[in-house]
């Protein structure tokens, strides 16, 4: 999974507070890429040698609120890369520079394209010997109406990790995602879902709802060695092994199991099926976990399957989908809505007031992302141009949580923009109507908010999330009901609380008795009460990402 992500988890930086003994902090601190103090100019990322004479920074002395173009500084690196990028084959254009050059690029870039550039306090780049620490300062510190940070999404990732995550879906881990039900003592964590529907190479006792009792001998609930807990649950390197005590779903027996970390591919679309209600209505279900490039072909296959089954409603489970590529969201939204979406904008990006008509990243006119009617071929180029299947549905049921974010929220907003009814079952979403193009400089990929997204009706103001059965009187209030996560049933099980509520709504027009409370046990034979849960993920799986 990588040092940087694990540090984000430990520090509680993904709008999460993970284990309470962990330190809290802001932004993208940690190792990798352009971060850390100055490295010797005789070293580079590929182990080669470069000119050992330390250059002077370009740009002259810092003058507050006086900015040179970011192009003045791009690629001037304290530790330049040489050779070619193994993922893209392109030759690195880095040249020997200084930490101040890297910081000046961050400063000018932020002034040019950051959505809230006029809310940044300009600080001298020469006073920071850590580019990641400087980047942490280049954002707004304003609050949303509910009191959350307006910019909770300011991150960095080493570029090689970023390319691996987004292009192939590969990450280092066990093949599962943890759900944190309580991050403070007495802590509680269970398995949220498996990255492969069939479990891959995981032991059979590891399923959704399996509860963590201890990690490498440290009691999860009350143990003081939080580093051991975090490093065991989120391993960094392939081949790491960690010993867990696990209470399997539906069992009172605690079992010991050793999990070995490996490079894995996530399976973003799972449990695709059709159910028939008591009244004979055909209802499709699918779990969609990540807007990564590999999801395109899987979504096409899933919708083709549901189209063949002639489903009349769809339950789209986005509860753990933190986002990813916006183009994937636009494809799926068309596959749901069909003919009603043709010719309509899915989402229009609005940049800062310096760029009212031209996209500052691509240099092209700002055209909306359409509801794509044909495949883009993001991974499998043989799919490019193929007509997408469609369900032609006038409404869709979405299962959500606070982990439903960004590109997933764009599906909700985009469909509502063309009057497809969206009924929300679960919890309030994360509230991220913002996005970015990832920017690489000197081996670090920077994620700074560059645009907000609005639908065909011009709405995009949901910074505090979409709210099921909301009463705030805004377009972010959706019909539906607030129901906690049910870890006593497998995902896709008709008795799982959120899916059961959606089926009941289809039959009766409401969620039924289970909706009495988000933490109610009503109607559920439960060992773990219905809960709100945090499911930390890599940045590639928790954003609204545009490609150039």
Residue range 69-102, pLDDT digits in tens: 999 999 999 999 999 887 677 889 999 999 999 9
Across the range 27-51, mean pLDDT stands at 37
- The reported pLDDT for the residue numbered 90 is 80
Among the residue ranges 390-399, 457-466, 532-541, the one predicted with the least confidence is 532-541
Across the range 33-37, mean pLDDT stands at 35
Q: Does residue 271 surpass a pLDDT of 70?
A: yes
Q: Does residue 350 surpass a pLDDT of 70?
A: yes
- The reported pLDDT for the residue numbered 23 is 24
Question: How far does the chain reach from its first CA to its final CA, in angstroms?
Answer: 26
Compare 172 and 232 and report the one with higher pLDDT. Answer: 232
Asked whether 94 and 101 are in contact (CB, 8 A), the reply is no
Q: Does residue 39 surpass a pLDDT of 80?
A: no
- The reported pLDDT for the residue numbered 458 is 96
Task: Give percent of the chain with pLDDT exceeding 90.
Answer: 72
Q: What's the token pair of residue 304?
A: 């083709």
Across the range 177-185, mean pLDDT stands at 92
Across the range 404-422, mean pLDDT stands at 97
- The reported pLDDT for the residue numbered 539 is 56
- The reported pLDDT for the residue numbered 49 is 44
- The reported pLDDT for the residue numbered 236 is 87
What is the rounded distance in angstroms from the CA atom of residue 474 to the CA atom of residue 304?
35
Helix (H) or strand (E) holding 170: strand 170-173
Q: Does residue 43 surpass a pLDDT of 50?
A: no
Across the range 374-389, mean pLDDT stands at 96
Asked whether 444 and 156 are in contact (CB, 8 A), the reply is yes
- The reported pLDDT for the residue numbered 272 is 98
Q: Does residue 37 surpass a pLDDT of 90?
A: no
What is the rounded distance in angstroms from the CA atom of residue 42 to the CA atom of residue 23?
34
What is the rounded distance in angstroms from the CA atom of residue 401 to the CA atom of residue 485?
8
- The reported pLDDT for the residue numbered 160 is 84
Mean pLDDT of the chain, nearest integer: 86
- The reported pLDDT for the residue numbered 6 is 31
Among the residue ranges 296-310, 445-459, 522-536, the one predicted with the least confidence is 522-536
Q: What is the pLDDT of residues 123-162, one digit of tens each?
A: 999 999 999 999 999 999 999 888 989 998 898 989 988 8
Confidence label for 167 from pLDDT (cuts 50, 70 and 90): low
Q: Does residue 26 surpass a pLDDT of 80?
A: no
Confidence label for 48 from pLDDT (cuts 50, 70 and 90): very low
The residues, ordered by sequence, that sit 6+ positions from 373 with a Cβ below 8 Å of its Cβ are 334, 342, 387, 388
- The reported pLDDT for the residue numbered 514 is 63
- The reported pLDDT for the residue numbered 487 is 95
Select the highest-mean-pLDDT range: 169-173, 198-202, 240-244, 467-471: 240-244
Confidence label for 528 from pLDDT (cuts 50, 70 and 90): confident
The residues, ordered by sequence, that sit 6+ positions from 381 with a Cβ below 8 Å of its Cβ are none
What is the rounded distance in angstroms from the CA atom of residue 355 to the CA atom of residue 360?
6
Question: Which of these, 192, 246, 193, 225, lies nearest to 19 by C-alpha position?
Answer: 225
Furthest-apart CA pair in the chain: how many Å? Answer: 78
Compare 134 and 541 and report the one with higher pLDDT. Answer: 134
Across the range 400-416, mean pLDDT stands at 96
- The reported pLDDT for the residue numbered 533 is 86
Across the range 200-213, mean pLDDT stands at 95
- Give the 3-state secondary structure of residue 72: helix
Among the residue ranges 215-219, 423-427, 470-474, the one predicted with the least confidence is 470-474
- The reported pLDDT for the residue numbered 281 is 97
Instruction: Specify the DSSP class assigned to residue 488.
Output: T
Which pTM value belongs to this model? 0.82
Confidence label for 542 from pLDDT (cuts 50, 70 and 90): low
- The reported pLDDT for the residue numbered 89 is 79
- The reported pLDDT for the residue numbered 527 is 63
Residue 314 β-bridge partners = 284
Helix (H) or strand (E) holding 286: strand 282-288
The residues, ordered by sequence, that sit 6+ positions from 319 with a Cβ below 8 Å of its Cβ are 399, 400, 401, 403, 404, 426, 485, 498
Q: What is the pLDDT of residues 14-24, one digit of tens each?
A: 223 334 323 22
């Amino acid at each position: 999974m990588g040092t940087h992500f694990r540090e984000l988890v430990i520090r509680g930086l993904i709008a999460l507070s993970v284990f309470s003994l962990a330190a809290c902090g802001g932004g993208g601190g940690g190792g990798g890429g352009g971060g850390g103090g100055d490295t010797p100019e005789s070293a580079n990322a590929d182990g080669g040698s470069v000119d050992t004479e330390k250059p002077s920074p370009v740009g002259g002395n810092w003058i507050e609120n006086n900015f040179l173009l970011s192009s003045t500084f791009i690629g001037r690196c304290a530790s330049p890369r040489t050779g070619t990028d193994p993922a893209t084959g392109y030759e690195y254009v880095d040249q020997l520079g200084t930490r101040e050059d890297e910081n000046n690029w961050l400063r000018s870039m932020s002034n040019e394209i950051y959505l809230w550039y006029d809310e940044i306090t300009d600080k001298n780049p020469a006073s920071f010997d850590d580019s990641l620490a400087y980047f942490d300062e280049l954002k707004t510190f304003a609050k949303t109406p509910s009191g959350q940070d307006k910019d909770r999404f300011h991150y960095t990732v080493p570029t090689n990790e970023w390319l691996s995550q987004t292009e192939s879906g590969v990450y280092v881990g066990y093949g599962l995602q943890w759900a944190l039900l309580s991050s403070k003592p007495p802590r509680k964590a269970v398995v949220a879902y498996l990255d492969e529907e069939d479990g891959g190479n995981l032991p059979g006792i590891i399923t959704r709802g399996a509860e963590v009792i201890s990690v490498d001998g440290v009691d999860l609930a009350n143990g003081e060695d939080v580093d051991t807990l975090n490093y065991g649950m989120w391993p960094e390197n392939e081949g790491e092994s960690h010993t867990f005590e696990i209470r399997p779903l539906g069992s009172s027996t605690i079992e010991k199991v050793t999990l070995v970390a490996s490079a894995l591919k996530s399976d973003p679309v799972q449990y695709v099926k059709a159910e028939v209600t008591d009244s004979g209505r055909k209802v499709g279900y699918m779990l969609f976990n990540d807007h990564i490039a590999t999801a395109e072909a899987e979504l096409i296959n899933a919708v083709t399957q549901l189209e063949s089954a002639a489903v009349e409603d769809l339950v789209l489970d986005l509860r753990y989908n933190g986002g990813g590529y916006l183009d994937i969201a636009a494809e799926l939204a068309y596959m749901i809505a069909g003919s009603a979406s043709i010719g309509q904008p899915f989402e229009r990006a609005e940049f800062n007031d310096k760029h009212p008509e031209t996209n500052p990243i691509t240099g092209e006119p700002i055209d909306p992302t359409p509801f794509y009617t044909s495949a883009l071929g993001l991974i499998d180029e043989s799919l490019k141009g193929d007509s997408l299947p469609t369900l032609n549905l006038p409404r869709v049921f979405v299962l959500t949580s606070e982990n439903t974010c960004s590109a997933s929220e764009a599906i909700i907003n985009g469909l509502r923009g063309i009057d497809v009814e969206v009924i929300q079952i679960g919890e309030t979403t994360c509230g991220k109507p913002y996005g970015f193009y990832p920017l690489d400089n000197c081996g670090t990929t920077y994620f700074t908010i560059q645009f907000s997204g609005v639908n065909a009706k011009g709405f995009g103001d949901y910074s505090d999330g979409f709210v099921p059965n909301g009463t705030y009187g805004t377009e972010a209030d959706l019909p539906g009901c607030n129901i906690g996560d049910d870890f006593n049933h497998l995902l896709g099980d008709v008795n799982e609380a959120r899916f059961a509520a959606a089926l009941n709504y289809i039959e009766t027009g409401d969620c039924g008795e289970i909706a009495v409370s988000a933490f109610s046990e009503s109607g559920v034979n439960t060992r773990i009460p219905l809960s709100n849960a945090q499911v930390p993920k890599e940045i590639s799986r928790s954003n609204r990402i545009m490609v150039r």
